[in-house]
Structure 1
């Protein structure tokens, strides 16, 4: 399993991405996970309407 953040060996503690591709890769994962959760919630609301 690859680490999410690759920490630079510089003095500051802020994690940064090695390449722009790494950042795009992580962003794509976040978007796909958020889409999956939103789809699940939409299915659940369609199955059990809260205001009926």
Structure 2
């Protein structure tokens, strides 16, 4: 099964926050599943969904 990855833009929309805030929270390890692919940052969708289902760091 192939892993799905979210862009910062799509994750920001999902979390209803700015891309800048998403980047900051990812750097601070608040949002899990961050992966560097070349120069791009992506998020493992399965890890993010599980994190949200478990309260999203609240």
Q: TM-score, normalised by structure 1?
A: 0.30
Higher relative contact order (CA 8 A, sep 6+): 2
TM-score normalized by structure 2? 0.29
Task: From the two aligned structures, give the one with the greater helix fraction.
Answer: 1
